[in-house]
Amino acid sequence: MNTGVRCQVSGVSKKLFPVPCSLFTVLLLFIVHFSLFTAAEAKIYIDITSPAIKKLPIAIQEFSGTEGKQIADIIRDDLEFTGFFLCIDRAAYIESSAEAFNPKNWSVIGAEAVVKGTVIGEQNITAVVSLYDVFEGHEIFKKQYKTGKSAIRQLAHTIANDIYKHITGEEGIFGTKVAFVAEDEGKKGLYMMDWDGAGVKRLGIKGNFVLRPHWSQDGSKIVYSSERGGQWGIYLLDFTTMSEKKLFASRGLNIAGNFSPDGDEIMFSSSQDEMYGLYNLRISDSKLTRITSARWIEISPAVSPDGKLVAFVSDRGGTPQIYIMNRNGHDTRRLTFEGSYNTSPGWSPDNKKIVFVGRVSGKQQIFIISPDSSEPTQLTDKWNNEDPSFSPDGRFIIFSSDRNGDSSIYIMRANGESQKKITPPWLRAFGPRWSPN
């Protein structure tokens, strides 16, 4: 059973219990790393912006030291999932971990890049990692990392990010988190985990029901809806203080949308006063602005990452469809026309795509569409697939699916490839949202 990384709390009771390490594992992580060597000029080994990508054959050797294999395996899994790397099977390697890098040992097995590393220490771990260019026969970078034993996965993800950055020129997402909803003793609560499903932790927040959270763009807080005491309210959890604040609650239905780019405003939908409406709430001074007013359903507002547009769901035409308007509520236009049920819009970080859920033959499937076109692309086809959201680099999508029975969380590339379950089998999990950093 994988309960992930736990933080040990030495309290009066001396009792061990799982606590949410969450994204602050990353922020507070005691990882010291510095470049020992940097190539004079940055060379891009894979242009991942090109439409036809040739996978880069890479060899990731088992690092020496007790945790060496685990670290190398995590790096391999991270890089492989992106679809930009072809990780060569270790059985084919000629050169041993202890031997110095010799490009001839690698060119014969087709490797173009090689990762070698050493790990020393038991509790406090120091890893020294080198990335080599086989063609040029030189070291691309060499770096030293230090951390505590409990943060080994984070250490490996940090190394994977560095390798990814050197080879593609872009930031990797291997250190990111996922906030989601899972069932705990019959009640739904908020959870957090690493993007690869490791380190599942409860955040200790429960209403009778909790809906999927939304991150602020700086990753310091989430906003979500919860039913408490017969009322649906909107709540904010600030990770810097680990405190929860009620932003809004009333009769009727109140469902949180996402944050504005600066993190000071949220949009939400409410039926507090008979009419449905989309609202903007400024958190600093609680200024509430009504954006729309409707006799029909209007929910799930999603502000674009550049703050200009809002995608939302309305059944004004008789069926739920996705519409787009300006932040001020003007220039509304319908985005989806195919099918009788399109909901749950979410933007890509570059504002160029909207991911949403459409119904096909009675099942929910994930689609992607450009905000200026009406040609959606279907990405899933097995059972029900819901709650999609983009990774911060826009290259992956996380979602929930019941394809293997109970609802679990999956990730895939933004083109629908490599769909992979990441939550453990004992957890009924829904509503994932990828952290922005």
Residue numbers 7-36 binding another protein by CB under 8 A? 7-12, 15-22, 24-25, 27-30
The binder of another protein chosen from 153, 387, 397, 401 (CB under 8 A): 387
Q: Report in angstroms how near the CB of residue 284 gets to another protein at its nearest.
A: 21
Q: How far is CA 51 from CA 47, 367, 408, in A?
A: 9, 20, 31
Taking CB under 8 A as the rule, does residue 382 contact another protein?
Answer: no
Among 77, 139, 170, 244, binds another protein (CB under 8 A): 244
What is the H or E stretch that residue 27 is in?
Answer: helix 24-28
Q: Is the separation of the CB atoms in 277 and 294 below 8 Å?
A: yes
Select from 115, 71, 75 the least CA-distant residue to 93.
115
Would you count residue 251 as binding another protein (CB under 8 A)?
yes
243 binds another protein (CB under 8 A): yes
Please name the residue that has the structure tokens 């200026």.
372
75 touches another protein (CB under 8 A) = no
Cβ 290 to another protein, closest distance in Å? 17
* Tokens representing residue 329 in the block: 């509520």
Q: Minimum distance between the CB of residue 39 and another protein, rounded to whole angstroms?
A: 31
Shortest approach of another protein to residue 34 CB, angstroms?
18
Residue span 96-135 as binding mask against another protein, x where in contact by CB under 8 A, dash where not: ----------------------------------------
Indicate whether 403 belongs to the interface with another protein (CB under 8 A): no
- Segment 274 to 293, residues that bind another protein, using CB under 8 A: 274, 276
Of positions 74, 114, 167, 203, contacts another protein by CB under 8 A: 203
CB of 9 to another protein, least distance (A): 5
Output the smallest distance, CB 204 to another protein, in A. Answer: 4
Q: What are phi and psi of 21, to 5 degrees?
A: -75, -40
* Signed CA dihedral, 337, 343, 348, 350: sign only: positive
Q: In whole angstroms, how close is the CB of 329 to another protein at the nearest point?
A: 19
Phi-psi region of 66 (alpha: psi -120 to 50; beta: other; left: phi over 0): alpha
* Strand order from edge to edge, sheet including 377-378: 342-347, 354-360, 363-369, 377-378
Q: Indicate which single residue of 50, 51, 52, 230 sits in contact with another protein (rule: CB under 8 A).
A: 230
Please tell me the distance from the alpha carbon of residue 391 to that of residue 16, in angstroms, as a whole number: 33
Selected binder of another protein within 65, 207, 346, 432 (CB under 8 A): 207
Q: What angle do CA 119, 123, 127 make, to 5 degrees?
A: 20
Interaction between residue 271 and another protein (CB under 8 A): yes
Longest C-alpha distance within the chain, in Å?
74
CA–CA distances in Å: residue 429 to residues 380, 402, 421, 422:
18, 10, 11, 10
CB of 94 to another protein, least distance (A): 38
Binding mask 287-326 for another protein (x = CB under 8 A): ----------x-xx------------x-----xx------
Strand pairing class (201-206; 396-401): unpaired
For the chain, what percentages of helix, strand and coil (3-state, to nearest 5) are there? 10, 45, 45
How far the first Cα of the chain sits from its last, in Å, is 28
Neighbours of 418 (CB within 10 A): 14
Q: Does 208 bind another protein (CB under 8 A)?
A: yes
Contact status, residue 232 vs residue 225, Cβ threshold 8 Å: yes
* Cα four-point dihedral sign 285, 291, 296, 299: negative
| Residue 200 binds another protein (CB under 8 A) | yes
Q: How far apart are CA 93 and CA 87, in angstroms?
A: 12
| 185 belongs to the binding site for another protein (CB under 8 A) | yes
- Residue choice 57, 121, 148, 394 for contact with another protein (CB under 8 A): 148
CB of 146 to another protein, least distance (A): 10
CB of residue 253 vs another protein: minimum separation in angstroms? 4
Selected from 95, 112, 133, 386, the binder of another protein by CB under 8 A is 386
Question: For strand 124-133 and strand 265-273, is the pairing parallel, antiparallel, or unpaired?
Answer: unpaired
**Sole window of 41-49, 106-114, 281-289, 354-362 interacting with another protein (rule: CB under 8 A):** 354-362
Interface with another protein, residue 426, by CB under 8 A: yes
Q: Smallest distance from the beta carbon of 344 to another protein, in angstroms?
A: 5
Please report whether residue 431 would count as binding another protein according to CB under 8 A: yes
242 sits near another protein (criterion: CB under 8 A): yes
For another protein, the closer of residues 25 and 408 by Cβ is: 25
